[in-house]
Amino acid sequence: MPDRAPPTDQEARLQELLDRCAARDAGALQPLYELAAPLLFGCLTRILRRRALAEEALQDVFVTIWQRAAQFSAARGKPMTWMISIARYRAIDLLRHERSAPVLVGELPEQSSEDEPSHELGAWWSGSALLERCLALLTDRQRNCLELAFVGGNSHEDIARLTGNPLGTVKSWIRRALQSLRQCLEE
């Protein structure tokens, strides 16, 4: 993208570790895990909502990262974006089998405390001012639907139920939201 910002220090560090993983340097995966696992585990937990499942998924994710590091290293994308995508897709795959199971509130892991050093995505991400501007053009309802889907891993049906709107309405809000994002981004 034309607005791609220069990588942050954190991104450069992740890139370096992924390059070493690509070169089969077994000593690089643990520091990578230590840096990235908390945020990925946060994403997985939001989608899967059950700790045991999120733990299983996190292991799958790092196995995949190790196996596909060479592919990523050659393609030169954004490291955290790539890893979060792997995590989200894995979680959505697991939902296929697991969403029907009841979620016990007691099993929800505790959120990390407020004073913990911030490894939120913002710290990792050199960002796109353009996307921020384009997201701001959406209605609140549209943005909310996108977040419920992307962050919470909710399907169209889930979002309809959660927001109390008809399924068709939710589908068209999301479709139009994505359309206007694309138009805005490619202007």
Binding site residues, another protein, CB under 8 A: 1, 26-27, 29-30, 33, 37-39, 41-43, 45-46, 55, 58-59, 62-63, 66, 75, 77-78, 80-82, 84-85, 88, 92, 96, 109-112, 116, 119-122, 125, 127-128, 131-132, 135, 146-147, 149-151, 153-156, 174-175, 178-179, 181-182, 185
In angstroms, the CA 73 to CA 186 distance is 26
Query: How far apart are CB 102 and another protein at their closest, in Å?
Result: 20
In the complex, minimum distance from the CB of residue 165 to another protein, in angstroms, rounded to a whole number:
14
Closest approach, Cβ 113 to another protein, in A, equals 10
State the minimum distance, in angstroms, from the CB of residue 101 to another protein: 17
Nearer to another protein, 161 or 182 (CB): 182
Please say which residue, 27 or 102, places its beta carbon nearer to another protein.
27
Among candidate residues 120, 137, 158, 153, the one with its CA nearest the CA of residue 8: 120
Least distance (Å) from another protein to the CB of residue 115?
12
Question: Which residues, 6+ apart, have CB-to-CB distance to 27 below 8 Å?
Answer: 20
Q: Which residue's CB is nearer to another protein, number 59 or number 139?
A: 59
Q: How far apart, in whole angstroms, are the C-alpha atoms of residue 94 and residue 114?
A: 29
Cβ(50)–Cβ(29) below 8 Å: no
In a 3-state reduction of DSSP, which class is residue 50?
Answer: coil
Q: What share of the chain is helix, strand, coil (3-state, %, to 5)?
A: 75, 0, 25
Nearer to another protein, 19 or 38 (CB): 38
Look up residue 25 and give its DSSP letter: -
- Are 99 and 91 in contact, with CB atoms under 8 Å apart? no
CA distance 74 to 68: 10
Is 15 or 62 the residue whose CB approaches another protein more closely?
62
